C-alpha cells in the first residue's frame, strides 16, 4: 500500500464512522468512569497491599475497551478481523484477589456500554454497583473474627484452655496444634465482640499453664 493510498476515500471509509465529537465524548466518559472505578477499588480494597498499578489498569482497560468497541460497531469487516486477531492473545497474569476480577469485569463492561451509546446505563449502573460495594465494605458485625494464638505448657493445660475459649467466645474452632519440646502452640479461629478482644487475652493469660496469648485480626473466611 502506497503513501497516497492512505488518503484514499474508499480506504478511509473502512474505518469507524463516528464523528470527532462522538469519539471525544465517549473516551472522556470512559476516562471518568475508569477513574470512578479505580477510586471505589481503593476505597473497598481489603487485601494486604494496595496496588496503584491495578487502579491505573482499570482506567486504561475502560478506555481501551471503549475504543475497541467503537471500531467494532462501526465496521463489520473490521470486527471480524479483530476477533481473529484477539483470539491469539493469551493473558497469564494470576488474579490473587477474587474482588479484582469483579473490578476488571466492571471496567470492561463499562467501556463496552459507553461505546455502544448507553451513557446513562453505564453511569447509573456503576453508581448502584458502587453503593452495593461500599455498603458491603463498611458492614459491621456484632461478633468479629480473630485468630487466637496460645502457647501452653502441656496437653492438660491445652484441654483446660479449650473449655475456657468455648465459654468466652461466640464461636471457636481449632485451626492448628503444634507440639514442641517444652510447649504446645494452639491456633484458634474465634468470633467475639470487638469490645471484648482485650478482655479475653487478659483472662487467658491468668490461666495456669499458659505461656503466651496473642489475638490477631482475621480477614479470611468467616465462620459459618
Q: From 139, 171, 186, give the residue that closes a domain.
A: 139
* Contact predicate 11/74, CB 8 Å: no
- Rounded average pLDDT per 10-residue block, the chain, 224 residues: 49 58 92 95 78 89 89 67 59 72 92 91 94 77 71 80 78 82 83 67 75 72 45
What local confidence, expressed as pLDDT, does residue 224 receive?
46
Q: Is 135 helix (H, G, I), strand (E, B) or coil?
A: helix
Residues 128 and 25 in one domain: yes
Does pTM surpass 0.75? no
Residues 126 and 156 in one domain: no
**Euclidean distance between CA atoms 104 and 87, whole angstroms:** 19
Residues 98 and 149 in one domain: no
Residue 152: in which H helix or E strand, if any?
Answer: strand 144-152
CATH number, domain of 178, equals: 3.30.70.1150
* Contact predicate 146/190, CB 8 Å: yes
Per the domain annotation, does 93 fall within a domain? yes
What local confidence, expressed as pLDDT, does residue 25 receive?
92
Residues 56 and 131 in one domain: yes
Residues 114 and 152 in one domain: no
Per the domain annotation, does 36 fall within a domain? yes
**pLDDT tens for each residue of 100-140:** 889 999 999 999 999 888 999 999 999 999 999 888 876 55
Residues 23 and 109 in one domain: yes
Per the domain annotation, does 34 fall within a domain? yes
Q: From 116, 139, 162, give the residue that closes a domain.
A: 139
- DSSP-assigned letters across all residues of 69-83: HHHHHH-HHHHHHHH
* Contact predicate 148/215, CB 8 Å: yes
Residue 159: in which H helix or E strand, if any?
Answer: helix 155-168
Q: Which residues pair with 213 in a beta bridge?
A: 150
Residues 30 and 112 in one domain: yes
Residues 59 and 91 in one domain: yes
Per the domain annotation, does 25 fall within a domain? yes
Closest CA to 47 of 175, 107, 137, 148: 137
C-alpha cell read off for 193: 465482640
What local confidence, expressed as pLDDT, does residue 151 receive?
85
* Contact predicate 69/111, CB 8 Å: yes
Structural domain boundaries, residue 171:
145-217
Per the domain annotation, does 223 fall within a domain? no
What local confidence, expressed as pLDDT, does residue 79 receive?
61
The C-alpha cell 491468668 sits at 206
The C-alpha cell 463492561 sits at 109
Residues 16 and 71 in one domain: yes
Q: Tally the domains of the chain.
A: 2
The C-alpha cell 456503576 sits at 126
Neighbours of 199 (CB within 10 A): 12
Per the domain annotation, does 77 fall within a domain? yes
Residues 46 and 119 in one domain: yes
**Euclidean distance between CA atoms 163 and 150, whole angstroms:** 14
Residues 123 and 162 in one domain: no
Residues 149 and 135 in one domain: no
Closest CA to 96 of 133, 53, 48: 48
φ, ψ at 20 (rounded to 5°)? -60, -40
Q: From 139, 165, 195, give the residue that closes a domain.
A: 139
**pLDDT tens for each residue of 147-159:** 888 888 887 777 8
Amino acid at each position: 500500500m502506497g503513501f497516497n493510498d492512505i488518503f484514499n476515500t474508499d480506504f478511509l471509509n473502512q474505518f469507524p464512522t463516528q464523528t470527532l465529537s462522538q469519539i471525544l465524548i465517549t473516551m472522556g466518559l470512559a476516562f471518568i468512569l475508569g477513574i470512578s472505578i479505580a477510586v471505589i477499588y481503593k476505597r473497598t480494597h481489603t487485601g494486604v497491599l494496595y496496588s496503584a498499578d491495578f487502579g491505573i489498569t482499570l482506567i486504561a482497560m475502560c478506555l481501551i475497551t471503549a475504543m475497541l468497541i467503537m471500531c467494532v460497531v462501526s465496521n463489520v469487516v473490521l470486527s471480524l478481523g479483530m476477533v481473529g486477531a484477539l483470539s491469539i492473545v493469551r493473558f497469564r497474569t494470576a488474579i490473587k484477589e477474587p474482588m479484582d476480577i469483579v473490578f476488571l469485569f466492571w471496567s470492561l463492561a463499562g467501556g463496552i456500554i459507553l461505546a455502544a451509546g448507553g451513557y446513562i446505563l453505564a453511569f447509573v449502573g456503576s453508581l448502584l454497583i458502587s453503593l452495593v460495594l461500599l455498603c458491603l465494605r463498611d458492614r459491621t458485625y456484632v461478633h468479629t473474627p480473630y485468630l487466637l494464638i496460645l502457647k501452653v505448657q502441656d496437653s492438660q493445660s491445652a484441654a483446660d484452655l479449650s473449655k475456657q475459649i468455648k465459654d468466652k467466645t461466640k464461636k471457636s474452632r481449632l485451626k492448628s496444634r503444634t507440639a514442641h519440646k517444652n510447649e504446645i502452640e494452639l491456633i484458634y479461629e474465634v468470633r467475639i465482640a470487638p469490645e471484648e478482644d482485650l478482655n479475653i487475652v487478659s483472662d487467658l493469660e491468668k490461666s495456669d499453664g499458659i505461656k503466651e496469648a496473642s489475638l490477631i485480626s482475621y480477614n479470611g473466611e468467616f465462620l459459618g
